[in-house]
Amino acid sequence: MYDRDPLEYYQILNVLPDADIRTIKLNYHDCAKKWHPDYNKDKNAMEHFQKISVAYEILQDKEKRLIYDVLACAYNKDDFPQMETLSVFKDRLDNENPDVRIIKLRYIIGKVISYKDKEYRLVCTQKQAFNEILKCSAANWFAGWWGIKAFLANCRAIAFNYRETGTNRQDNLTLLIHNAVAYHQEGKDKQALSSILQALDYALPDQIPTLKSFAHYLSLKISSLPKWNWRLLKAAHFIVPFVLFMLLSSPVINSYLLGFNKYMTKQNEITYFQKVSFNDGSETFDDIVVSKVFNIPVDLYDEEKLYHFREDSSVMYGPGDKFDVMRNIEAGHTVRVTGFTPDKAWYRIMLDNGEMGFVKKSSLLKGRGNEIPSSSKIIYSAD
């Protein structure tokens, strides 16, 4: 009921998020009378009364309430910002620009026996993102191979950079919502409208009405919105290796690059590494590739990918009996299938807490089993 109430303003006044102003006022007076320190001698009465006053100050004001509801689509209790003091997230040139997104890039610098591994979250325009991808690609391809550990880390980093391009929905939703509110507070409603309308591309169905309400509140119109070409940005990852191929073409280099290109373009394959546990409780990962798994995109609305265990079974860290047991699951427990091995003997599954593990296909039956917990991450819940 209060999922979109990170600071618990609605809960404090005991009203629903869609309550009208009359209901909010009535509940405020009832709560204030109950918790006023002159009438309530509870040691926490003053603190609770202050919370009631703050909640009412926000919810009785149309604009403040709308801004709170919009920010609640992007932030939770732990990272909720100060609503009155938001600053616009600027692009790489320190300019305010409503046409920005967040990209994630990993840089690997090899040092023979060690390496540096840094991940960056960058706020960019599309042109800046293209340049940042080229810069990161050049750094990884020219400086990321020096050392065995660096070589393996660089392979994973290059694959990570390619696959993450255009996939960070929540980061971009948060960025665009934050900037929309910040622009509005600066009196730049045209930029605010552009940001909030672009945020609709990343919003979940239950968030869209709130974002549209904010757009309507701005009382402006925009003829067209910028669209990012994510395919172009994905292609940018291949420019540096292509140039190297053209400059250093040889049978050996040619064979290597063709193999790498084949690996990168198979986006539905994920390489897994075996987890090794030690008696002292420490753990590491074996860098030997043990399997290829075909990926099934996760759609939390898709009931077709829900399965349940036919009997008590073990979930493994990898697709094989030689892997360590992650946990044991009782019969009837419902999970979501997110991938499978080429021979379809093993399924990769998502558990309620979002963890991924592997089970034999024969252990599962299609469809729901026992009741799915309300906090489960395997299905979408509007509650």
Q: What is the pLDDT of residues 268-306, one digit of tens each?
A: 444 444 444 434 454 544 443 445 788 888 888 888 999
| pLDDT tens by residue, 93-129 | 999 999 999 999 999 998 888 889 999 999 999 999 9
* Confidence band, pLDDT 50/70/90 cuts, at residue 197: very high
Position 139 scores a pLDDT of 93
3-class secondary structure, 35: helix
Is residue 57's pLDDT more than 50?
yes
Mean pLDDT value across residues 214-222? 91
Pinpoint the residues of the chain covered by CATH 1.10.287.110. Answer: 9-60
| Closest to 90 measured CA to CA, from 125, 121, 129 | 125
| pLDDT tens by residue, 31-52 | 988 888 888 878 888 998 999 9
Mean pLDDT value across residues 61-86? 93
CA distance 363 to 369: 13
Structure tokens at 285: 């990962």
Instruction: Please name the amino acid found at residue 310.
Output: R
Is residue 369's pLDDT more than 90?
yes
Q: Express the helix, strand and coil content of the chain in percent, nearest 5 each.
A: 40, 20, 40
User: Does the reported pTM lie above 0.85?
Assistant: no
CATH fold group of domain 9-60: Helix Hairpins (1.10.287)
Instruction: Please name the amino acid found at residue 253.
Output: I
Highest mean pLDDT among 64-68, 343-347, 349-353: 64-68
Contacts of 339 by beta carbon, 8 Å cutoff, 6+ apart: 270, 293, 294, 295, 296, 347, 348
Q: Which residue has the higher pLDDT, 290 or 262?
A: 262
Is residue 221's pLDDT more than 60?
yes
| Surface-to-core class of residue 152, CB atoms within 10 Å of its CB (0-12 exposed, 13-18 middle, 19+ buried) | middle
In CATH terms, is domain 282-366 a member of 2.30.30.40? Answer: yes
* Confidence band, pLDDT 50/70/90 cuts, at residue 2: very low
CA distance 312 to 335: 13
Q: What is the mean pLDDT of the chain?
A: 87
Is residue 350's pLDDT more than 60?
yes
Pinpoint the residues of the chain covered by CATH 2.30.30.40. Answer: 282-366
What whole-number percentage of the chain has pLDDT above 90? 62
Query: CA-CA distances (angstroms) from residue 165 to 144, 158, 168?
Result: 20, 11, 8
